[in-house]
Amino acid sequence: MVSKQSHRKDEHVSLAIKFYDEKSHAGFDHLRFIHQGIPEISLNEVSLESYIDKIDLDFPFYIEAMTGGSEYTKKLNQSLAKIAEETGIAMATGSQSVALKDSTLSDSFSIVRETNPNGTIFSNIGASVDVKNAQKAVDMMDSNALEIHINTPQEIIMPEGDREFNWINNIKEINQNLNVPVIVKEVGFGMSAETIQLLIDNGVKNINISGKGGTNFSKIENYRRKEQELDYLSDWGQTTVESLLETKKAHVSDDITIIASGGIRTPLDAAKAISLGADAVGIAAPILYSLIKNGEDETVRFINDFKDGLINIMTMLGCRSISELKKIKMIADPYLQNYINQRNIP
């Protein structure tokens, strides 16, 4: 018998694939780079190295949190771990909260470390898990960092979801007591300057604004309901671009790492996210879609093409490093400029 929890994990995968849109709706089309005709650089001078907290990354993008918690998603995690190892990119798993409640599911996560013993791996839990269990999640995969996801709209739309969202003290406690860096991430609803500031004021150093415009969990959870009456929430949240702009309104000092995810579909989307201040970007559904539809080898190629695409764009912009790309200013169209004006983004 497949448990309710495992069934839900499988459904998330099948619905994310069903609703997958290869076009981003995360706001990147509202921005453009200024072309530089004589960039005075050669392709082989470009470095993609970046970092999250104390963790060095060879590439500024990674496989974002998705799966685990069932037999099927164990296989997916194993494939994703192989792909991560072959391409040298980091990888997060889906929420381990299910395995903390039912230890028979923990092998669907530990397989990731077994498959990729030297890789950079991020654990993932919900924001109500206590410190002891947060450490257990990290130990399960000997992870390099822990992602804590915040997902109020998703829980609200799920009939079986949480109904209490007093999270900040728990986040603060985990952040103070864990032996690896902590990243607080959204799941595709984005963040406001107020949320970002609250996290920073409580000691959080790594923030993944995971915005609207890619995988849409209000759509996915609404589809899972018997009565699909909450469709009116399907546009809730700030896009990834809006959320990155919100970081400019908060007091983000140099020791804070900003990560972008949500609707990163092309190297151009990633480059724009970095030039809006992200140190790294997470890609979820496109990698899962590629794996399920085209297999491991094609997905390795997709990721390697993504690296080349970023190098091409950085070359055209004359940027030798991610820190140089972060300094490039883009032009916003009137629609986005209106958001910038109304939210008083500096």
Report how far apart the first and last C-alpha atoms of the chain are (Å, whole number).
55
Can residue 187 be called a binding residue for ligand FNR (CB under 6 A)? yes
Binding of ligand FNR by 264 (CB under 6 A): yes
Q: Which residue is nearest to ligand FNR (CB)?
A: 214
* Other Cβ atoms within 10 Å of 344 Cβ, number: 8
Question: Rule CB under 6 A: which of 98-137 touch ligand FNR?
Answer: 124
Binding segment for ligand FNR among 34-42, 50-58, 61-69, 189-197 (CB under 6 A)? 61-69
- Residue 27 as a binder of ligand FNR (CB under 6 A): the answer is no
Q: How far is the CB of 137 from ligand FNR (least distance, A)?
A: 12
Find out whether 296 and 83 touch, Cβ atoms under 8 Å: yes
Span of 36-44, 54-62, 159-167, 259-267 interacting with ligand FNR by CB under 6 A:
259-267
- Cβ 212 to ligand FNR, closest distance in Å? 9
Which tokens is 74 given? Answer: 């164990």
Among 135, 263, 271, 274, binds ligand FNR (CB under 6 A): 263
Q: Shortest approach of ligand FNR to residue 17 CB, angstroms?
A: 8
Q: Is 278 in the site for ligand FNR (CB under 6 A)?
A: no
CA distances from 140 to 88, 105, 117, 176 (A): 21, 11, 13, 20
- 285 lies in the binding site for ligand FNR (CB under 6 A): yes
- Asked if 149 touches ligand FNR (CB under 6 A), the answer is yes
Per the CB < 8 A criterion, the answer to whether 183 and 278 are in contact is: no
Q: CB under 8 Å to 27, separation ≥6 — which residues?
A: 211, 213, 239, 240, 241, 242, 263, 336
Least CB distance from residue 278 to ligand FNR, whole Å? 13
* E strand or H helix that includes residue 218: helix 217-224
**Is there binding between residue 244 and ligand FNR (CB under 6 A)?**
no
CB of 287 to ligand FNR, least distance (A): 8
Nearest to 257 by CA among 185, 329, 335: 185
Cα torsion 140, 141, 147, 153: sign: negative
Contacting residue, 79, 133, 243, 261, with ligand FNR by CB under 6 A: 261
The contact mask relative to ligand FNR for 150-179 (x = CB under 6 A, - = no) is ------------------------------
**Residue among 27, 188, 237, 267 that touches ligand FNR (CB under 6 A):** 188
CB neighbour list of residue 262: distance below 8 Å, 6 or more residues apart: 26, 186, 188, 190, 209, 210, 211, 212, 213, 214, 215, 239, 240, 243
Contact with ligand FNR (CB under 6 A) among 31, 64, 99, 267: 64
| Sequence-separated (6 or more) residues with CB below 8 Å from residue 74 | 68, 107, 108, 111
Smallest distance, Å, CB 90 to ligand FNR?
13
Could you tell me the sign of the dihedral formed by the alpha carbons of 9, 12, 18, 22, in that order? negative
User: Least distance (Å) from ligand FNR to the CB of residue 311?
Assistant: 21
- The alpha carbon of residue 137 and the mean position of all alpha carbons in its chain are separated, in whole angstroms, by 18
Can residue 16 be called a binding residue for ligand FNR (CB under 6 A)? Answer: yes
> Which member of 258, 273, 284, 345 binds ligand FNR (CB under 6 A)?
284
Please tell me whether residue 143 binds ligand FNR under the rule CB under 6 A: no
Residues 123, 97: contact at Cβ < 8 Å?
Answer: no
281 binds ligand FNR (CB under 6 A): no
Q: Which residues contribute to the site for ligand FNR (CB under 6 A)?
A: 12-13, 16, 64-66, 94-95, 124, 147, 149, 185, 187-188, 210, 214-215, 261-264, 283-285, 288
